[in-house]
Amino acid sequence: MDKAYRLFDSVKNSLGLLSWVALVLVFSLLIYQFELIGLGLIFVIPPIVVVMWIIYVYPLSALYLAMLISFPGNGLTRYIPVPFGLLIDALLFGGIILALLKSTSEEKNALKNIPIYFFVAWFIYTTFQLLNPEAVSKAAWFYAIRGTSFNFLFILVIAFIYVKDKKHLNIFLYTWLFWSVLAAIWGMKQKMIGLDGAENAWLAAGNASTHLLHGKLRVFSFYSDAGQYGAAMAHAALVFMIIAIGPGKWKQKIIFGLGGLLCLYAMAISGTRGALFIPAGGGLIYLIVNKNFKLLIVGLLMGASVFGVLKYTYIGQGNYEIQRLRSALDPNDASLNVRKENQQKLAGYLASRPLGGGIGSSGYFGLRFSPNTFLAQTPTDSWYVRIWAETGIVGLYLHLASILAIIGAGFWKIFSMRDPELRNIMGAFLAGFTGVALASYGNSILGQFPTIMVSMISIVMIWKGEAWDQKK
């Protein structure tokens, strides 16, 4: 037995030595063949291997890493030419494969819920859109399908399977708070100090027409554009302020209250008019789900007062940010009328196309892959109008049904919760998601990072919150 053990140990050591020799030879070959690139790979490959190992052992880390990248990813591309969007897609794809392969039957039972059912149906419908006879470009489908459908389901599946403990709630909240406050501060820097070289180059590349209006900068921070930035800040402000006014520890209330105020200011300097409907619509949902009649009356009166000031007075008209918000309530606004005209054109075109023109046929991907088509040349300007244009009236109804079903089911889950602090946080999540869903009529918000990430994880937290509440 001792001889066998020594032989095994000798072979193991020899194999270990040969492995190191092989590794040195591979790296030497890389340096010889690719020179500096090969030298760079030596420093890049080990961290990648470590990250891949961590994701394999802990698949939820793929979602956490994707969430971390989703906040600054768009802005970082202005400085370094790295496709962070594809990196997020790879993490989510790897995460869902591992989740489905490694999870137990009991863990998979967590997938039996309304959000999964509806987004599986949406996933199937959008997958078959690849066969849509109206689609001019099949390549556009492969690019656009991720934000239109796949990412919704991938995030939900990974989170539903692996988010089990309440500690994940705090990890999610404080990660969201950190990046949102950082985005607000960076936006304030852009407004008060100015843009750096990379940001100015981004404006000069064709984005100045939408971000420099009448000599005023629409702040965009490190997000994809001012529209997404304003909506994300409004979303964060609503959720954080609700947490701040609800039950809980004073330290947490102060932290989230200050963070919420910063994000509210960031929303204003973004010049994104549609973002106003996130705190307005979401706030109303929170007042209803909170089951406090007195608070509902006070909230409605405050909301009506703000609406009245913006709609029927000129108070604060000298402030550019207030001017922008006020124009969102003007039915004669020029951009609103242009949108209505475009929607009328689309209605005529889609009347005979119930399945739409194919995913990726409008907007950025439409101009890239089928630039001379009607859908590519007609701006959609809205998440729902884009869904309508690309997937038809059938797809629009299915997508709206998914969102409404989640909001409705979320209501009942929160109503049944007994823990006041947990119910308040889950009410904040539902209010935020509903606000984003409403604001997506004016802007293409819902399918973009980081909004899609925090929205889907928020939904998972509501469903998990019901189980956490029952354990108390």
Question: Residues 155-177: pLDDT tens digits?
Answer: 999 999 999 889 999 999 999 99
Mean pLDDT of 356-363: 88
- DSSP class of residue 450 equals T
User: Are both 46 and 122 inside the same structural domain?
Assistant: no
Task: Clarify whether residues 31 and 154 are in a common domain.
Answer: no
Query: Is 48 in the same domain as 159?
Result: no
CA distance 60 to 426: 21
Q: Are residues 49 and 114 in the same domain?
A: no
| 234 and 455 Cβ atoms separated by less than 8 Å | no
Q: Is the pLDDT of residue 119 over 90?
A: yes
143: exposed, middle or buried (C-beta count within 10 Å: 0-12, 13-18, 19+)? middle
User: Are residues 124 and 248 located together in one domain of the fold?
Assistant: yes
End-to-end CA distance of the chain: 56
Position 297 in a domain: no
Element (H, E) at 293: helix 293-312
- Does the pLDDT at position 7 exceed 60? no
Question: In this predicted structure, what is the pLDDT of residue 18?
Answer: 47
Q: Is the pLDDT of residue 90 over 80?
A: yes
Angstrom distance (rounded) from CA 469 to CA 321 = 41
Q: Residues 336, 440: one domain? A: yes
Q: Are residues 14 and 149 in the same domain?
A: no
State the pLDDT confidence band at 53, using cuts at 50, 70 and 90.
confident
Is 46 within a domain? yes
Task: Count CB atoms within 10 A of the CB of residue 263.
Answer: 26
Phi, psi of 218 (to 5 degrees): -90, 110
In a domain, 103, yes or no: no
Backbone angles phi, psi at 216, to 5 degrees: -105, 135
Q: Is 255 exposed, middle or buried (0-12, 13-18, 19+ CB in 10 A)?
A: middle
Mean pLDDT for the chain? 83
Verify that 42 and 139 share a domain, yes or no: no
**CA separation, residue 319 to residues 267, 279, 324 (Å):** 14, 20, 9
- In a domain? residue 372: yes
Q: Count Cβ atoms within 10 A of the Cβ of residue 286 and give its class: 0-12 exposed, 13-18 middle, 19 or more buried.
A: buried
Among 217, 239, 294, which residue's Cα sits nearest to residue 458?
239
Total domain count, the chain? 2
Structural domain boundaries, residue 40: 2-53
* 437: in domain: yes
Measure the CA–CA gap between 260 and 240, rounded to whole angstroms.
Answer: 5
Distance CA 445, CA 383 (A): 6
Give the closest residue to 449 by CA, choosing from 229, 268, 130: 229
Closest to 26 in 3D by CA, of 52, 46, 11, 47: 46
Give the β-pairing of 212-213 and 216-217.
Answer: antiparallel
Across the range 351-372, mean pLDDT stands at 88
Query: Can you state the percent helix, strand and coil of the chain, rounding each to 5?
Result: 80, 0, 20
Q: Tell me: the pLDDT tens digits for 237-295?
A: 999 999 998 888 889 999 999 999 999 999 988 887 778 889 888 888 888 887 766 66
Confidence tier at 118 by pLDDT (50, 70, 90): very high
- Of 24-33, 313-322, 391-400, the one with minimum mean pLDDT is 24-33
Residue 78 lies in a domain: no
Question: Do 15 and 114 lie in a common domain?
Answer: no
Return the axis-axis angle of helices 36-57 and 84-102, rounded to nearest 10°.
40
Q: How far is CA 100 from CA 60, 150, 155, 159, 455, in A?
A: 12, 15, 13, 12, 22
Residue 342 lies in a domain: yes
What is the model's pLDDT at position 308? 67
- Is the pLDDT score of 28 beyond 60? no
Sequence-ordered list of residues with C-beta below 8 angstroms from that of 308, at least 6 positions apart, any chain: none
Residue from 158, 436, 111 nearest 285 by CA: 436
Decide if 323 is inside a domain: no
Structure confidence by residue, pLDDT tens digits, 95-104: 898 888 888 8
Contact yes or no for 395/172 (Cβ under 8 A): no
**In a shared domain, residues 48 and 197:** no
Q: What is the average per-residue pLDDT within 135-157?
A: 91
> Can you say whether residue 256 is alpha, beta or left, with left for phi > 0 and alpha for psi between -120 and 50 degrees?
alpha
Place of tokens 């550019």: 320
Residues 348 and 435 in one domain: yes
Burial of 418 (0-12, 13-18, 19+ CB in 10 A): exposed
Verify that 39 and 136 share a domain, yes or no. Answer: no
